[in-house]
């Protein structure tokens, strides 16, 4: 799914109005109806909706939503700055329609402080939407601050009020803290970053049937990894195939006391379909690997830590988890990087050893996938003030070194050498545990070995990894799920993928 800027989204609206023979007020009604359909389904146990409407088109959406909710049998109250406000043209039309409905009260913002909210109340935020161009102030700032402490379910329409669509808001800004955001047609870039995404709650993308030609022809470098993109990448396993069809993975990982990382990466490679998997670890891990991963073959790379390993050009290497940063290990890694030009995933301690000297970055071969978390990224490429700036630096470095950067975050970003960014939309806070990244290393190496391109492997790999985490969280909770639980859920992920891509009779 493409991620557009707010200007592109506005252009898409206008293109739809001009080419699909639909008026702007009817398009607003369509958007409102999509919200009400969702609200009716997911808030059926709530009796009352309180809708806060601004003066622009987001307020017009709110007026239409209030009217349609009332028609569905819900109790609805509406708050505005003043009934005599100057609204946008379409908002004015829907305000007048609302005024004609008996049973809906319309109150001023100033009266909200005496309003009685209860556990049956749902607060609808339709103050600003995507058109916000400056920070909230005056009565709007006071209203948002008050609503943020109200004990009720809070739902934003399109964009939480006070939040910019494409950038970080000022630290002093008042931003509506939603439990859910009903976003029209597209993800917004700000939803994907931790500083701004924390205000959206769970994002629901509502299809309001904007013009598909505009969406197809309009270019962007930002994408959300959704089910449709994954289906276009995934290659179901062929019946007439053998282990050689699905490649060889060499996991170079582990050291004394850190063999768990090697186990997780090895099991992940096995469980995601690699034809042959070799665990290249120090001898102190022999019993552990042979017992926990009997399907993998063991190759000794040292005694307590790795100090040498063979190069096999017909293998994909996943290097780094739990290796440690011993000087002999670092020497062996740099020697390997100088001599090897094949498919490669670098993670964890491999990145830490490379970062000790910036010249080492030049040893990384083209099309390598690196998987830094924010701190590892900082060690490699330097400090940035926020995640937006970090992403732009990642674009620069991916292009400079012609590599793929999988920048791990809540919405992990896959950055290509061409500057494309794919934001992952699966996964949850249960992944915030040591070992989750080791699993991802095994997944990415496995997919590369099976013939996926670097971009395909990175995009599909982070989605599979996150989807398994979502299944694990459902079973065990985000608090209790373990990285090993992800591996056990890969079977469910592939089962669903195969069903989605199967030929239907």
On whether the CB atoms of residues 464 and 490 are closer than 8 A, the answer is yes
Tokens 């309009």 sit at which residue? 218
Tell me what pLDDT residue 28 has: 97
On whether the CB atoms of residues 348 and 471 are closer than 8 A, the answer is no
Closest alpha carbon to 79 in 63, 94, 67, 68: 63
- What whole-number distance in Å separates Cα of residue 43 and Cα of residue 74? 10
Domain ranges (residues) in the chain? 16-219, 231-501
Query: Which two tokens mark 17?
Result: 């109005």
Residue 428 has pLDDT above 70, yes or no: yes
Tell me what pLDDT residue 151 has: 93
Tell me what pLDDT residue 131 has: 75
- Beta-bridged to residue 298, according to DSSP, are 279
| pLDDT 10s digits, 300-322 | 999 999 999 989 989 999 999 99
Mean pLDDT of 24-31: 97
On whether the CB atoms of residues 48 and 76 are closer than 8 A, the answer is yes
Q: CATH class for domain 16-219?
A: alpha beta
Total residues found in the chain within this entry: 505
- What whole-number distance in Å separates Cα of residue 21 and Cα of residue 9? 18
Q: List, in order, residues 6 or more apart from 41 with CB less than 8 Å away.
A: none
Tell me what pLDDT residue 270 has: 98
Residue 504 has pLDDT above 80, yes or no: no
Residue 169 has pLDDT above 90, yes or no: no
Tell me what pLDDT residue 431 has: 97
Tell me what pLDDT residue 172 has: 73
- What whole-number distance in Å separates Cα of residue 16 and Cα of residue 10? 10
Residue 40 dihedral angles phi and psi, to the nearest 5°: -65, -35
- What whole-number distance in Å separates Cα of residue 366 and Cα of residue 398? 10
- What whole-number distance in Å separates Cα of residue 162 and Cα of residue 133? 9
Tell me what pLDDT residue 409 has: 95
- What whole-number distance in Å separates Cα of residue 130 and Cα of residue 178? 15
- Four-way CATH pick for 231-501: 3.30.1330.200, 3.40.50.11890, 3.40.1190.20, 2.120.10.30: 3.40.1190.20
| pLDDT 10s digits, 89-137 | 999 999 999 998 999 999 999 999 999 998 889 999 999 988 777 777 8
- What whole-number distance in Å separates Cα of residue 184 and Cα of residue 268? 36
- What whole-number distance in Å separates Cα of residue 331 and Cα of residue 360? 11
- Predicted confidence band at 367 (pLDDT cuts at 50, 70, 90)? very high
Tell me what pLDDT residue 505 has: 63
Average pLDDT, the chain: 95
Query: Which two tokens mark 322?
Result: 């739990």
Tell me what pLDDT residue 430 has: 97
Query: Which two tokens mark 453?
Result: 């391109």
On whether the CB atoms of residues 387 and 412 are closer than 8 A, the answer is no
| pLDDT 10s digits, 210-235 | 999 999 999 999 999 999 999 999 99
Closest alpha carbon to 258 in 486, 435, 125: 435
How many CB atoms lie under 10 A from the CB of residue 386?
Answer: 13
How many helices and strands in the chain, by DSSP H and E? 17, 17
Q: List, in order, residues 6 or more apart from 35 with CB less than 8 Å away.
A: 61, 65, 157, 182, 206
Query: Which two tokens mark 143?
Result: 């209203």
Q: Could you tell me the end-to-end alpha-carbon distance of the chain, in angstroms, rounded to an integer? A: 28
| pLDDT 10s digits, 187-196 | 999 999 999 9
Describe the strand order of the beta sheet including 276-281 as a list of residue ranges: 222-225, 421-424, 413-415, 404-407, 369-370, 344-346, 316-319, 248-252, 276-281, 297-300
Tell me what pLDDT residue 134 has: 73
| pLDDT 10s digits, 263-300 | 999 999 999 999 999 999 999 999 999 999 999 999 99
On whether the CB atoms of residues 17 and 27 are closer than 8 A, the answer is yes
């Amino acid at each position: 799914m493409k991620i557009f800027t707010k200007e592109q989204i506005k252009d898409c609206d206008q293109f739809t109005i001009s080419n699909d023979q639909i008026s702007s007020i009817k398009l607003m009604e369509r958007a409102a109806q999509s919200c009400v359909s969702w609200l009716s389904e997911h808030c059926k146990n709530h009796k009352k909706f309180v809708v806060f409407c601004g003066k622009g088109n987001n307020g017009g959406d709110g007026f239409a939503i209030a009217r349609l909710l009332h028609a569905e049998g819900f109790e609805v109250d509406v708050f505005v700055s003043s009934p005599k406000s100057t609204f946008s043209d379409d908002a004015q039309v829907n305000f007048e329609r609302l005024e004609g409905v008996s049973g809906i009260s319309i109150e001023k913002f100033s009266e909200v402080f005496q309003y009685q909210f209860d556990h049956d109340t749902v607060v609808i935020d339709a103050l600003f939407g995507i058109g916000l161009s400056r920070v909230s102030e005056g009565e709007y700032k006071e209203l948002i601050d008050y609503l943020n402490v109200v004990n009720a379910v809070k739902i934003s329409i399109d964009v939480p009020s006070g939040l910019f669509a494409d950038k970080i808001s000022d630290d002093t800004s008042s931003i509506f803290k939603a439990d859910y955001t009903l976003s029209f047609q597209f993800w917004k870039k700000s939803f994907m970053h931790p500083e701004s995404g924390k205000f959206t709650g769970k994002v629901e993308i509502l299809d309001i049937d904007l013009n598909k030609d505009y969406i197809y022809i309009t270019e962007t470098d930002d994408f959300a990894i959704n089910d449709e993109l994954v289906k276009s990448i995934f290659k179901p396993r062929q019946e007439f195939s053998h282990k050689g069809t699905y490649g060889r993975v060499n996991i170079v990982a582990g050291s004394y006391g850190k063999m768990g990382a090697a186990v997780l990466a090895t099991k992940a490679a096995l469980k995601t379909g690699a034809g042959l998997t070799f665990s290249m670890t120090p001898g102190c891990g022999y019993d552990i690997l042979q017992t926990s991963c009997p399907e993998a073959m063991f190759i000794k790379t040292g005694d307590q830590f790795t100090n040498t390993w063979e190069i096999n050009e017909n293998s994909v290497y996943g290097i780094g988890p739990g290796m440690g940063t011993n000087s002999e290990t670092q020497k062996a890694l740099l020697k390997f990087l100088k001599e090897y030009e094949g498919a490669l995933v670098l993670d964890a301690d491999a990145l830490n050893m490379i970062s000790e000297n910036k010249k080492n970055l030049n040893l990384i071969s083209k099309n390598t996938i690196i998987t830094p978390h924010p701190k590892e990224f900082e060690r490699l490429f330097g400090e940035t003030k926020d995640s937006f700036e970090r992403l732009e630096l990642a674009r620069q470095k991916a292009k400079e070194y012609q590599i793929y950067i999988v920048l791990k975050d809540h919405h992990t970003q896959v950055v290509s050498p061409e500057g494309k960014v794919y934001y992952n939309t699966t996964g949850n806070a249960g992944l915030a545990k040591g070992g989750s990244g080791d699993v991802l290393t095994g997944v990415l190496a496995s997919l590369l070995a099976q013939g996926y391109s670097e971009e395909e492997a990175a995009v599909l790999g982070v989605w599979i990894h996150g989807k398994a985490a979502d299944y694990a969280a459902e079973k065990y909770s985000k608090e209790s799920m373990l990285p090993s639980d992800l591996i056990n859920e890969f079977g469910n992920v592939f089962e669903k993928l195969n069903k989605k891509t199967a030929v239907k009779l």
